[in-house]
Amino acid sequence: MTSEKFKLLLVDDDDIDIMSFQRALKKTGLNYELDICKNSIETIEFVKKYKYNCIFLDYLLPGVDGLELLKKIRGLKVFTPIAVMTSQGDEKLAVQMIKSGAFDYFPKAELSPDYIQKVILNGVRLWEVENKRLKAEKEIEENNNRLTAIVESTDNNIYAINNSLQIISFNSSFKNRILLQQNIEVYIGQSIHEFIKDDEIINHFIASLKGHSLTHFEELTLNNQYNCFETTYNPIKSDGKTTGVAIFSKDITENRKFQKELLQARNDALFSAKAKTEFLSNMSHEIRTPMNAIMGITDLLLDDSAFTGTSLKNLKSIRYSADNLLVIINDILDFSKIEAGKISFENIDFDLRLRMSELHKTFEYRSKEKGLDFIINIDEDIPNILKGDPYRLNQILFNLVGNALKFTSKGSITIDVKLIETHDNKCKLMFNIIDTGIGIPEHKQSKIFESFNQAYTDTTRKFGGTGLGLAITKNLTILQNGNINIISKVGKGSVFSVELTFEKSEFKKLEIDKLVDEVYDLSKFKILVVEDNVMNQFVAKQFFKKWNTEIIIANNGVEAIALLSENIDFDLVLMDLQMPEMSGFEAAELIRSNNSPVLNSDIPIIALSADAFLETRKKVIEAGMNDFVTKPFKPDELYQKVLKYVIKS
């Protein structure tokens, strides 16, 4: 027996019936509370006021029948189980009452405690089930409302179709889009063929109905305006079968426009970066060409013993300034190459100790001049021959030692080269460049590696410089997977540490081009100089005159080919690269080609160019030339290269 307390309502106007109901109810032993109403008005009031577990309703009431009252109660959204009682049985009436929401119907004659108990307990159970159903229904409704709100809150087009390609659901955005686009009103049950004529899209529906999800980009013109939609087709599955397709169509017009603008801006930026690099490259090339004349003529004059005293000093100043100018031009060129991501590295065998001793030679004089000691220590464990880019290593060390010299007025400059790691075929080296100079304040130490940044505002005025050297040095180090660090104390000095990894070479020693110390008689050789710049022709003439060598000038590739086709007695060609009519590359390729028009197609060719890039040097070799000398050329270097090829040939 349940201990639950039931709140019951009896609606009956007959006192005798009420009494017999109460008696029977008492005998059930149930825990209950019974209210009694004798007419419909009272009943409605009570039903509104209290929550009952079960209502017993007499069919015949004064002025109203049970059916009417039942409908009124249900109209109040009160779904309490109602059992209808009547004086005599009537099947038709019973059916009608059940249809209108009663859960039981019985004649009063059958009222017994057992029967009442059964009715109450059945009603309560039924009520519980009904309550759960109502709750679930409410949840579904709320969920649906939420989903509808979400679907409606977006301006993306959402709709769904069934297996027969008919609309089963859609949101206002979709409805409005179709209305705007095609002046068609969308409705449930409508075939999509009414507004989608494109077979490709229909095929997407069909593919999705086979269970595939897919995305399609649709570009179209709406009201004379470009529109783009990203549409996703997702199969709707029920019991593992595809019963329809949900379509989500997102308007990505703005996004697309933005992407296009972004792409355009990126292309513009790339174009202007390229233009900038090309400009800087051309400009420094253009500057290097006259620099060749300035430096060449200065060298010639410096060799002339007629200049002494102030004149010699002035000449040396010109030479010094020209050297500085060249460093700046090279820095700008390197910097623009790094910015454009166009820098490449050699991977060749080199003799580290030899390179370091050359570096020592370069800076020895300047450090002595300033009264500074210049020391280089190299760990004994470091192999002699390494593989990597000796030119870039030289450039890094050159920059750092140059700075150390510039910013140190007493004490010393030391380069310590240490082996910090070695395994397999690699060894990691650390180059410490130590000076006892002015030092760099801590807060400036990270800034000096940025381009155009100097530690003190008066650096340029006091020491000169562009602020590019360390930016280039850092980039060159990092691009070779290395590292650069600084430790510095104002007034005490600085230590720049560069970590670089090199491959170990298979060679223990390198064959190097021996510098020819003896003075050779070059008078028996004939050299063809292909050069379009009149000043540089003049410089070449002056040098070769000094070396007693006959040179013939060709103004471009075409003239060179013509001369080489008529004369067999040339021993060497010095070839400029950028020339009108026919470039140095084209001329060299033609000379080396199978159907070469020249008389000696094996003649040694040395390229002579203001463009100092590795790629250019590679192109030179690819075009069939033997060697490369950069302009402005160092007289010694040119002399040695000329000797190397004419003596060999």
Binding residues (CB under 6 A) for ligand ADP: these are 399, 403-404, 407, 435, 437-440, 448, 454-456, 459, 465-471, 494
User: Which strand (E) or helix (H) includes residue 542?
Assistant: helix 534-546
Q: What is d(CA 536, CA 290) in angstroms, rounded to the nearest whole number?
A: 8
- CA–CA distance, 220 with 562 (Å, rounded to integer): 63
Q: How many CA atoms lie within 13 A of 575 on its CB side?
A: 32
Are 397 and 359 spatial neighbours (Cβ–Cβ below 8 Å)? Answer: yes
Residue placing its CB nearer to ligand ADP in the complex, 403 or 556: 403
Tell me how far, at minimum, the Cβ of 648 lies from ligand ADP, in Å: 41
Residue placing its CB nearer to ligand ADP in the complex, 110 or 450: 450
Our CB check for ligand ADP shows the closer of 437 and 624 to be 437
Q: By C-beta, is 39 or 453 nearer to ligand ADP?
A: 453
The answer to whether 628 touches 617, Cβ cutoff 8 Å, is yes
Distance CA 358, CA 349 (A): 16
Q: How far is the CB of 447 from ligand ADP (least distance, A)?
A: 8
Least CB distance to ligand ADP at residue 392 (A): 16
DSSP class of residue 391 equals H
Angle at 81 between CA 75 and CA 83, to 5 degrees: 105
Which residue lies nearer to ligand ADP by CB, 384 or 459?
A: 459
Strands 348-351 and 385-388 turn out to be: antiparallel
Nearer to ligand ADP, 208 or 408 (CB): 408
Closest CA to 76 of 38, 106, 50, 103: 50
* Nearest distance in Å: CB 283, ligand ADP: 19
Parallel/antiparallel/unpaired status of strands 214-222 and 167-170: unpaired
Q: Which of 640, 569, 578, 628 is nearest to 600 (CA)?
A: 569
Q: Which residues of 17-29 are buried (b: 16+ CB within 10 A; e: fewer)?
A: bbeebeebbeebe
- Give the residue with the Cβ less far from ligand ADP, 202 or 328: 328
b/e per residue, 467-494, with b = 16+ CB within 10 A?
Answer: bbbbbbbbbbbeebebebebebeeeebb
The smaller minimum CB distance to ligand ADP, of residues 455 and 587, is found at 455
| Sequential DSSP letters for 314-340 | HHHHHHHHHHHHHHHHHHHHHHHHHHT
CA distance 634 to 18: 130
Residue with smaller CB distance to ligand ADP, 383 or 467: 467
Nearer CB in complex with ligand ADP: 40/408: 408
What is the smallest separation between the CB atom of 556 and ligand ADP, expressed in angstroms?
38
Q: How far is the CB of 485 from ligand ADP (least distance, A)?
A: 13
User: Half-sphere exposure (CA, 13 Å, Cβ side) for 318?
Assistant: 17
Q: Quick one: CA torsion of 100, 104, 109, 113, rounded to 10 degrees?
A: -150
Nearer to ligand ADP, 81 or 465 (CB): 465
460: nearest Cα among 365, 363, 328, 369: 328
Q: Least distance (Å) from ligand ADP to the CB of residue 487?
A: 11
Instruction: Give least dist CB 478 to ligand ADP, A.
Output: 15
Rounding to the nearest 10 degrees, give the CA dihedral for residues 32, 37, 38, 39. -150
Spacing of C-alpha 230 from chain mean position: 23
Shortest Å, Cβ 366 to ligand ADP: 14
| Residue closer to ligand ADP (CB basis): 399 or 505 | 399
Of 66, 31, 73, 68, the closest CA to residue 50 belongs to 73
Copy the structure tokens of residue 261: 């603008």
**Shortest approach of ligand ADP to residue 504 CB, angstroms?**
31
CB of 368 to ligand ADP, least distance (A): 19
Name the pairing type of β-strands 31-37 and 5-11: parallel
Q: Which two three-digit tokens encode residue 226?
A: 């470009």
Minimum distance from CB of 398 to ligand ADP (Å)?
Answer: 11
Question: Considering the complex, what minimum distance in angstroms separates the CB of residue 583 from ligand ADP?
Answer: 34
Closest of 331, 350, 425 to residue 390, by C-alpha: 350
Q: In the chain, helix, strand, coil percent, each to 5?
A: 45, 25, 30
Nearest CB to ligand ADP, comparing residues 459 and 601: 459
485 vs 593, which CB is nearer to ligand ADP?
Answer: 485
Please state, in angstroms and as integers, the Cα–Cα distance from residue 511 to each residue in 351, 356, 390, 646, following that order: 10, 17, 16, 19
DSSP state of 502: E
Q: Which residue is nearest to ligand ADP (CB)?
A: 465
Q: How far is the CB of 256 from ligand ADP (least distance, A)?
A: 44
* CB nearer to ligand ADP: pick between 235 and 469: 469
The rounded distance, in Å, linking the Cα atoms of 397 and 404 is 10
User: What order of strands is seen across the sheet that includes strand 241-251?
Assistant: 167-170, 157-162, 241-251, 225-238, 214-222
